[in-house]
Structure formats: C-alpha cells, structure tokens
C-alpha cells in the first residue's frame, strides 16, 4: 500500500472535524485579541482562498475583507480572485501596488540593481504594508496563508507573505489544502492551477524549489523519498530556520 495515499485517506476521514477546529481557532483567536475582523491578501491562488473561506465560516461576511493586490500580475489570477469572491461570497477590494513598486524601485536601485527575486520580494512586502495599514485602520488582524509545506522549506518572503498575525492553515500540507478547498467550494480553476508566487513572469513553486509538492508532502507525511530530494528539502529547511523563529538578539 502507498503510505502517502493512506495518510491522505486518513486525513479525508477527519476533514470535517479538522475544518471545525480551524474555524474555532480563528473565532477564539480574533475574539481574544478583541479584533473586529480579519483582512486576507487574495492572490487567486489556493492558499489564500482556503484561508479566506475558513475565516468567513468563523466570522461571517461582515468581518472578513479580502484584498487583491496586483503588481503587474498575470490577469488569470485576477479572474480567479473574482471567481473566488463570487463563489464564497467574500467582500473583495482591489489595491494596485504596482505604482508604489514603480516609485520605490529607482530609489532602491540608486545603490545597485535588484534581480527578479529581490523585486518580487519587494512586491510581497508592499502587500504586507498594505494589509497592515488596513488592519490598523479597521481594528482587524492580518491572516497568514502559508501552508505547512511552504513553512517547512521557508518558501515565503520574510516580512512579506511570511508576516501576519495568526495562521489558520499552518499545519496543512499542500495536498491537504487541496482537499479542504474541495470541501469549502473553492472554484476548480483555483484548485487545479499550478502553485505560483507570481513574483515574476512564468514563476512556479515546483520549478523554483527543484522538487514537486508530491515529493515534499510525501516526505513530510511519511518520511519517504529519494535521498537526493530529502537532502534538498532538509537543506532548505536548515537555511530558512531564521524565518520560523523570533529574531535573535542580545
Ligand atoms: N541566518 C539568517 N538569520 C537571520 N536572517 C537571515 C539569515 N539568512 C538570511 N536572512 C535574511 O533573510 C533574507 C532572505 O529572505 P527573503 O527576503 O524571504 O528572501 P528569499 O528567501 O531569498 O526569497 C523568498 C523565497 O520565497 C519564495 N516566495 C516568496 C513569496 C511568496 C511565495 C509563494 O509561495 O507565494 C514564495 C520566493 O519565490 C523565494 O524563493 C536575507 O536577505 C536576510 O535579510
Ligand atoms: N496579487 C496578490 N494580491 C493579494 N495577495 C497576494 C497576491 N499575491 C500573493 N498574495 C498573498 O501572498 C500569499 C502567498 O502566496 P502563495 O502563492 O503562497 O499562495 P496562494 O497564491 O494563495 O496559493 P498558490 O500556492 O496556489 O499560488 C497569498 O496567499 C496571498 O495572501
Ligand atoms: Mg500564489
């Protein structure tokens, strides 16, 4: 028997209970923080879709705000962000962070030019800046959308999508996120789309990481995998430890 498939089957058996636990977590965290609601960056991808759908279940439509923040993004993602809003009845606002990026880039590049990754990380941090401005204005918390697979290998921008106030999907692998997405009525176009940070044209997670989510999640759920793949995963895990801990100080 394939142990990975068996682990996913076992998760499927308790998926409703798991969703309820996540919904309760959101509700009690937001209440204990005396926050009025939550704000979520909506990318048209699956992680933010699932996060927003869980927040809606926990808090209701009037206390969840989704923000679509393009910065010269692929238009397919805007279509999916709108399809999501329609499907789960989410209040969605567009904030174009492209002009802010255009304004700050030449200032930063007075020192030296940025490569595609550094430009993409800057866009991710402009999104974080916008979400915190809105959270401050409305008395909301910022919801994080990073899943367990990404967190394990540090596949997020430090101070960008890696910075928020609470995370209702932190323990779910990408495969489990897909299963939850089906339960929550997320549009199929979002579930089946190749995961992408959309930090530059043509970027996909699997190409950049150098292994597939199947490899990564199999390893995370069962410990199985080719030695060279496991070494790559563990290498990324080691060098990204600083993204999962509070900054050191003395
Ligand atoms: N040991 C250490 N202790 C403390 N801090 C350390 C450090 N090593 C680096 N740093 C700091 O961390 C910085 C590097 O981290 P960071 O700026 O995040 O940059 P980096 O890890 O190089 O890039 C972010 C990665 O996440 C991916 N990403 C980003 C956003 C969204 C998604 C997605 O899935 O949607 C994926 C992106 O494609 C890229 O592969 C360094 O410039 C340095 O300031
Ligand atoms: N254009 C965008 N507008 C708003 N938020 C964004 C945008 N791009 C990225 N984000 C935020 O950054 C997070 C990280 O992106 P990531 O690609 O890991 O997740 P995703 O797009 O939801 O899922 P997928 O892995 O399917 O691409 C998103 O979940 C979202 O909260
Ligand atoms: Mg994405």
Question: Which CATH number is 128's domain given?
Answer: 3.40.50.620
Indicate which residues carry an active-site annotation. Answer: 47, 150
Local structure of 165: helix, strand or coil = coil
Q: Flag whether 235 is in a domain.
A: yes
Output the pLDDT for position 1: 80
Task: Give 211-250 pLDDT, tens digit per residue.
Answer: 999 999 999 999 999 999 999 999 999 999 999 999 999 9
pLDDT band of residue 55 (cuts 50, 70, 90) is very high
- Provide the token pair at 28: 């009690």
- Please count the structural domains in the chain: 1
Classify residue 131: in a domain, yes or no.
yes
**Domain-located, residue 249:** no
Domain membership flag for residue 35: yes
Asked if the structure places residue 200 within a domain, the reply is yes
Per-residue model confidence as pLDDT tens digits over 162-206? 999 999 999 999 999 999 999 999 999 999 999 999 999 889 999
Pocket test for ligand 2, best of 41, 93, 94, 132 (most atoms within 8 A of CB): 41
Q: Is 73 annotated as a binding residue?
A: no
Query: Does 100 reside within a domain?
Result: yes
Mean pLDDT of the chain: 97
pLDDT digits (tens, 9 = 90+) for 76-126: 999 999 999 999 999 999 999 999 999 999 999 999 999 999 999 999 999
Range of the domain at 79: 3-243
116 carries a ligand binding annotation: no
pLDDT class of 38 with cuts at 50, 70, 90: very high
| C-alpha to C-alpha distance for 2 and 24, rounded to whole angstroms | 33
Find the mean pLDDT for residues 130-138.
Answer: 98
Contact, 216 vs 224, CB < 8 A? no
The pLDDT > 90 percentage for the chain reads: 98
Report the C-alpha gap between 141 and 64 in whole angstroms: 10
Protein residue whose Cα sits closest to atom 20 of ligand 1: 157
pTM of the model: 0.98
Q: How far is CA 2 from the centre of its chain?
A: 28
Residue 124 included in any domain: yes
Answer whether residue 250 is part of any domain: no
- CA gap 145, 113 in Å, rounded: 30
């Amino acid at each position: 028997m394939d142990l990975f498939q068996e682990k996913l089957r076992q998760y499927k058996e308790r998926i409703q209970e798991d969703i309820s636990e996540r919904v309760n977590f959101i509700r009690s965290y937001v209440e204990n923080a005396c926050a009025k609601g939550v704000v979520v960056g909506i990318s048209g991808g699956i992680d933010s879709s699932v996060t927003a759908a869980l927040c809606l279940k926990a808090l209701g439509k009037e206390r969840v705000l989704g923000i679509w923040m393009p910065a010269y993004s692929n238009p397919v993602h805007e279509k999916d962000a709108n399809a999501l809003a329609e499907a789960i009845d989410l209040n969605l606002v567009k904030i174009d962070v492209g002009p802010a990026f255009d304004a700050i880039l030449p200032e930063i590049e007075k020192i030296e030019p940025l490569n595609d990754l550094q430009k993409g990380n800057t866009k991710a941090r402009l999104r974080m800046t916008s979400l915190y401005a809105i959270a401050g204005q409305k008395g909301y918390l910022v919801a994080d959308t990073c899943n367990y697979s990404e967190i394990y290998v540090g596949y997020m921008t430090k101070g960008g999508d890696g910075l928020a106030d609470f995370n209702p999907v932190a323990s779910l692998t990408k495969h489990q996120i897909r299963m939850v997405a089906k339960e929550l009525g997320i549009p199929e176009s979002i579930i089946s789309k190749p995961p992408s940070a959309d930090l530059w044209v043509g970027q996909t997670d699997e190409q950049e990481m150098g292994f597939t989510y199947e490899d990564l999640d199999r390893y995370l759920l069962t410990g199985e995998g080719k030695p060279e793949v496991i070494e790559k995963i563990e290498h990324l895990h080691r060098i990204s430890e600083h993204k999962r801990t509070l900054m050191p100080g003395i």
